[in-house]
Chains A and B, each alone.
Chain A
Amino acid sequence: MPSNRMDTGGRIDRDRPLSFTFNGRRLQGFAGDTLASALLANGVRLTARSFKYHRPRGIVGAGVEEPSTLVELLGDDASGNRPATTVPLRDGLIAKSVNCWPSPGFDMGAINQLIGRFIPAGFYYKTFKWPGWHLYEPTIRKAAGLAAAPAAPPEQGHFESRFAHCDLLIAGAGPAGLMAALTAGRAGLRVMIADEATEAGGSLLNRRLTIGGTPALGWVKAVVDELATLPNVTHLQNTTVWAYREHNYLMVNERAPDNPGLLERNWRVRAGQVICATGAIERMLVFGNNDRPGVMLASAAQTYVNRYGVRPGQRAVVFTNNNSAYAVAADLAAAGITVAAIIDNRTDVPEEARTLVEDVDVLAGHVVTGARGARQVRGVTIAPVDGGASRQISCDLLAHSGGWNPAVHLWSQSRGNLRYDDTLTSFLPDQAAQDATSVGAANGQMILADALGSGARAGADAAGITMPDIPTSADLTYAITPLWRVEQGRGKAFLDIQNDVTVDDVHLALREGYDNVEHVKRYTTGGMGIDQGKTGNINIIGTVAMQQGAPLEELGTTTFRSPYTPVSFGAIGGLREDSVVLPYRHTPLTAWNIKNEAFMYESGARWRRPGYFPQPGESFQETVNRECRIVRNGVGVYDGSPLGTFEFKGRDVGRFLDHIYTNIMSTLKPGHGRYGLMLSDDGLIIDDGVALRLSEHRWIVSTSTGHADAMNSHFEELLQTQFPDWNVFVTTVTSQWNNATICGPLARNVMQALGTDIDISPAALPFMGFADGHVAGIPARLVRVSFTGELSFEVNVAPRHLPALWDKIMTAGAPFNIAPIGSEANHVLRVEKGFLSLGHEVDGTVDPYDLGLGWVMSKKKTDYLGKHAVAIRRSGTTNRRELVGILPQPDQMIPEGAPLTPGGERRPTEGLVTACVYSTVHDRWVGLALLENGHSRHGETVHARLKDKVIAARVTPPIHYDAVGERLRS
């Protein structure tokens, strides 16, 4: 058994030894250990190197406050920057120190200690700014770096997130939190109590106190057992309330859920009321070399002997400014550690404290001016607080206590106020901003009886019942005389151990004019990172106060940010990866498409569509060309189901459509359709599409696929907020009407082969006409619209009929060599026709006139959305970018988005290429572009300026094929 492990005592299981590896060394601990307690038990004292100066560091704390020993876990537990004090030991754990290479004992970066006086606060800001920080950043990051992020997500198990509601959320299961939970739980409230430690009890786990005349942990067990019997209470251990958001919404991370498949569970809790029973965190004392391994918070030393049965040293000196460390000294002595002396800056030590340690030398009115020893503490130099001769005491453990800071992090995140309390010399919760209270040490109730009382009071208030009886307990009173720093002595005196911030750094920041605590924080980095001001913050504020001669309450604190302790990204994300957050949309033909070897991709609004249907041996371009030729020369069919489709009903639909479309819709006769543009009121084109009038008060409006959701919002907002008395009802029917669109010169032949009771002659069913009936025996609505420029029949059917219809089209079309067409060919065909596409030709700067669609802007209507904005914009500018066609010279592809500059020179652009495709009609590349004054520049040559070359192009009208539109009307 390692020499530092006590034979008895502690909450570890000596029958369950565990093996683990730290920096390559195989070591042993017990079930119930943390990595930190196991390291101390094995006598490992040098466990880390510091962030900036690479100074040797040991273990400072025993819980979430640990500022020093951050480790990277490897293997199954892979994660970075975990305080060793919060890593429960398990068999096979592999951990290594961060911040040092190759090891904390021999660290190349330790050279920084020699040049330490040349790298004060702000050094990096001042030095590495020319010519740019980015030049230096990679090297500095590597030198300063914390742990590496795991290369891949954990392989075993997954993360989940879960919503919960409760009447009362209690953060912390120490004496105050347990008392509150018991009181409110017994009264029937839905209570959730969460605590970050592996077991309940809070500070009671670390101290030797009694409640009701018996050991306090017996009381804890009785309360926990009773809470387990209450069905209205959810009690979670190993669970941190890490963020407090608006409207009593809190983030609660459960690290070891009772489910082997789960790594972590993040609860999102909406609480009626919140009780912050988050306890207090001991602060350090500030003296020379107060960061040496073996210099430890007094409460941590107490925790190691009482809770883990580990002696963190053999010969201790205790340095304090308050009573709590006397109980620590007594516990250390009881554990067999020699307590060489208690150094107390107070000249009068209360009798109740002194009697706890009658055999120990108490040096009242003294301070430790410095710790001696390089790689671990070997002694201390002490001196009277008011000056005088110093002397030395040898020791291998210096337990120090600078007092206690209530853990107000959650309270502050809730926007609750803080006030400075002179008696406690710390900041306490003041005015609540949400329905929250603080109890116990988190509220400055430092004595056990007060903590139990405040917990019971808050629980009773939450439940609206009278105050219950409180069990009796005994505790030391908390008397403190502030000591923000020891002014005598030499060596770096650290305020923030994690970020390597010293007293000198704060003084430098003040000298350079950063005199607000928030500025000091940013200039020195004190209180940043995962520390979030747990151990050092109040000392920094105290140091600023001393230097400025200002009271602390005037300086205030820096902002306490979430997360309170580090939370893994996996827990925040839960299962919400891409496909869950935004699931793909599929039409009923996905299975057919996949079976027919379509290349599937997303093309807007999460719809999975076939891009193209390659045949064996075909290249991408060959496939697209073949599909284009099929449509231009024969007949093709594509699945047009994703197109946004809305049914409008009501007496005022015509009036409403006249308001949202630029052209007049209300004059349309039932049985006919009309193309239109929709603008926002500030004149941007937001969508285009076709409206069909089914009957007097019933319409179908189609929108582009990608904008369907936005258009739905647009319709509803207008109708509900501006025209609530208009009789218009909008229903999304995109997935109620699916369609197969048969297009090409032979489309009518295929329709005849399919068989339909609708008269499909050009006279009976002209372009933009539609009719209801049957196609191939299936109830259908046949619509004559065209997105390809060819004769097209859009066969709309119920989704359950689409696969059957599709099969019949393939059979009936076989004699005409029909083939399925993907999105790529569709894109080529619409570019050939100069049909606009939102996001290509329409980008928020163009208006309908620029696109040559001036005819669609009604002159008759005095008002519609966007009319005035377009008029105002056009009245002020002359250089509009207008839609043109382009023919690259010589024939080649120009990348979409390529800028057009005068002469291809390095000059401001005069436009851009919006699309460029290989036209099988012309056997060459054709494109569309937005070009300044383009309508009057047909025949000119323009130049696309690329990174490595300039491509010339001839400007043409934007329609490359069938300019008069006789084919689509055929």
Chain B
Amino acid sequence: MMNIPCPFCGSRNEAEFAFGGPVKPDRSDPNTVSEEEWVAYLTQVPNPLGPVQERWWHVKGCGMWLTIWRDTRTHDIVEGPADAE
């Protein structure tokens, strides 16, 4: 059971959150990309061994969606890479 830092509530038990999945690239206008690119956007989800950016919904807390970097090998919540937003 992880301890997830909510920027609004502080560190809270994972049980208060719902998993929102890895962060995908921004949704582009589907009219400007190829069919293959659109299918790739819909179906491919980042799944790295190591830090992954992902969303959690503090559904049993403040109700806010938040973004963290989690190391999939250790569950450690880590700093994102320097070039991440």
Give the complex CA separation of A246 and B1 in angstroms.
6
**Is A693 part of the binding interface, using a Cβ–Cβ cutoff of 8 Å?**
no
Report chain B residues within 8 Å CB of A717. 20, 55, 57, 65
Of the residues A249, A713, A721, A722, contact of B18 by C-beta under 8 Å: A713
Q: How far is the CB of B82 from chain A (nearest CB, A)?
A: 22
Establish whether residues A721 and B55, one from each chain, have CB atoms under 8 Å apart when the complex forms: yes
Report chain B residues within 8 Å CB of A800. none
Segment of A860-868, A884-892, A897-905 engaged in the interface with chain B: A860-868
Give the complex CA separation of A722 and B29 in angstroms.
13
Give the complex CA separation of A268 and B15 in angstroms.
12
Give the complex CA separation of A263 and B65 in angstroms.
40
When A681-B42, A713-B57, A721-B65 are in contact, do A863 and B30 touch as well, CB less than 8 Å?
A: yes
Contact with B along A705-717 (1 / 0, CB 8 A): 0000000010011
When A246-B2, A270-B13, A716-B65 are in contact, do A868 and B74 touch as well, CB less than 8 Å?
A: no
Report chain B residues within 8 Å CB of A722. 26-27
Of the residues B1, B30, B35, B43, contact of A268 by C-beta under 8 Å: B1
When A247-B1, A249-B3 are in contact, do A415 and B74 touch as well, CB less than 8 Å?
A: yes
Establish whether residues A868 and B65, one from each chain, have CB atoms under 8 Å apart when the complex forms: no
Which of A249, A415, A721, A722 is the most central at the interface, judged by chain B CB atoms within 10 Å of its CB? Answer: A721
Of the residues B43, B63, B64, B75, contact of A682 by C-beta under 8 Å: B43
**Is A433 part of the binding interface, using a Cβ–Cβ cutoff of 8 Å?**
yes
In chain B, positions 46-68 with a C-beta closer than 8 Å to chain A are: 55, 57, 59, 63-65, 67
Of the residues B3, B31, B57, B75, contact of A862 by C-beta under 8 Å: B31
Contact with B along A925-937 (1 / 0, CB 8 A): 0000000000000
**Is B84 part of the binding interface, using a Cβ–Cβ cutoff of 8 Å?**
no
Q: Give the number of A-B contacts (CB < 8 Å).
A: 54
Give the complex CA separation of A793 and B18 in angstroms.
37
Contact with B along A249-289 (1 / 0, CB 8 A): 10000000000000000001010000000000000000000
Give the complex CA separation of A415 and B20 in angstroms.
26
Give the complex CA separation of A247 and B75 in angstroms.
8
**Is A869 part of the binding interface, using a Cβ–Cβ cutoff of 8 Å?**
yes
When A246-B74, A713-B18, A863-B30 are in contact, do A869 and B55 touch as well, CB less than 8 Å?
A: no
When A717-B55, A863-B30 are in contact, do A249 and B42 touch as well, CB less than 8 Å?
A: no
Q: How far is the CB of A209 from chain B (nearest CB, A)?
A: 39
In chain B, positions 1-51 with a C-beta closer than 8 Å to chain A are: 1-3, 13, 18, 20, 26-27, 29-31, 35, 38-39, 42-43
Q: How far is the CB of A243 from chain B (nearest CB, A)?
A: 10
Establish whether residues B2 and A247, one from each chain, have CB atoms under 8 Å apart when the complex forms: yes
When A246-B74, A249-B1 are in contact, do A868 and B63 touch as well, CB less than 8 Å?
A: no
Report chain B residues within 8 Å CB of A248. 3
Establish whether residues B57 and A868, one from each chain, have CB atoms under 8 Å apart when the complex forms: no
Give the complex CA separation of A713 and B56 in angstroms.
11
Of the residues B13, B27, B63, B64, contact of A681 by C-beta under 8 Å: B27
Give the complex CA separation of A867 and B65 in angstroms.
26
Give the complex CA separation of A717 and B76 in angstroms.
24
Report chain A residues within 8 Å CB of B57. 713, 716-717
Which of B26, B30, B74, B75 is the most central at the interface, judged by chain A CB atoms within 10 Å of its CB? Answer: B30
In chain A, positions 820-878 with a C-beta closer than 8 Å to chain B are: 862-863, 867-869, 872
**Is A245 part of the binding interface, using a Cβ–Cβ cutoff of 8 Å?**
yes
Interface size, B (range):
20 to 34
**Chain A residue with the shortest CB-CB distance to B73:** A415
Establish whether residues A868 and B2, one from each chain, have CB atoms under 8 Å apart when the complex forms: no
Q: How far is the CB of B10 from chain A (nearest CB, A)?
A: 12
Of the residues A247, A415, A682, A721, contact of B3 by C-beta under 8 Å: A247
**Is A466 part of the binding interface, using a Cβ–Cβ cutoff of 8 Å?**
no
* A interface: dominant SS: helix
Report chain A residues within 8 Å CB of B39. 872
Q: How far is the CB of A702 from chain B (nearest CB, A)?
A: 21
Report chain B residues within 8 Å CB of A682. 42-43
**Is A615 part of the binding interface, using a Cβ–Cβ cutoff of 8 Å?**
no
Establish whether residues B20 and A245, one from each chain, have CB atoms under 8 Å apart when the complex forms: no
Report chain B residues within 8 Å CB of A720. 64-65
When A246-B1, A869-B42 are in contact, do A716 and B35 touch as well, CB less than 8 Å?
A: no
Report chain A residues within 8 Å CB of B67. 721
In chain A, positions 685-736 with a C-beta closer than 8 Å to chain B are: 713, 716-717, 720-722
Give the complex CA separation of A249 and B13 in angstroms.
10
**Chain A residue with the shortest CB-CB distance to B4:** A247
**Chain B residue with the shortest CB-CB distance to A722:** B27
Report chain A residues within 8 Å CB of B30. 863, 867-868
Give the complex CA separation of A135 and B35 in angstroms.
50
Of the residues B13, B38, B63, contact of A872 by C-beta under 8 Å: B38
Which of A433, A681, A868, A869 is the most central at the interface, judged by chain B CB atoms within 10 Å of its CB? Answer: A868
Give the complex CA separation of A246 and B72 in angstroms.
12
Give the complex CA separation of A515 and B76 in angstroms.
33
Q: How far is the CB of B66 from chain A (nearest CB, A)?
A: 9
Report chain A residues within 8 Å CB of B75. 246-247
Report chain B residues within 8 Å CB of A247. 1-3, 75
Of the residues A245, A681, A872, contact of B35 by C-beta under 8 Å: A872
Report chain B residues within 8 Å CB of A415. 74
Q: How far is the CB of B2 from chain A (nearest CB, A)?
A: 5
Q: How far is the CB of B17 from chain A (nearest CB, A)?
A: 12
Establish whether residues A713 and B59, one from each chain, have CB atoms under 8 Å apart when the complex forms: yes
Give the complex CA separation of A869 and B30 in angstroms.
10
**Chain B residue with the shortest CB-CB distance to A869:** B42
Give the complex CA separation of A867 and B27 in angstroms.
14
When A716-B57, A721-B65 are in contact, do A245 and B42 touch as well, CB less than 8 Å?
A: no
Q: How far is the CB of B32 from chain A (nearest CB, A)?
A: 10
Report chain B residues within 8 Å CB of A869. 38, 42
Contact with B along A146-181 (1 / 0, CB 8 A): 000000000000000001000000000000000000
Report chain B residues within 8 Å CB of A868. 30, 38
Report chain B residues within 8 Å CB of A716. 57, 63, 65
Q: How far is the CB of B27 from chain A (nearest CB, A)?
A: 6
Q: How far is the CB of B29 from chain A (nearest CB, A)?
A: 6
Would you list 13 pairs from A and B whose C-beta atoms are within 8 A, ordered by A residue? A246-B2, A247-B1, A247-B2, A247-B3, A248-B3, A270-B3, A270-B13, A681-B42, A717-B57, A722-B26, A863-B29, A869-B42, A872-B39
Closest 7 CB pairs of A and B: A246-B75, A868-B30, A720-B65, A247-B3, A249-B1, A682-B42, A247-B2
- Other than A717-B57, A720-B65, A869-B42, give 20 A-B pairs with Cβ distance below 8 A: A163-B13, A245-B1, A246-B1, A246-B76, A247-B2, A247-B3, A248-B3, A249-B1, A249-B2, A270-B3, A415-B74, A721-B20, A721-B55, A721-B65, A862-B31, A863-B29, A863-B31, A868-B30, A869-B38, A872-B38
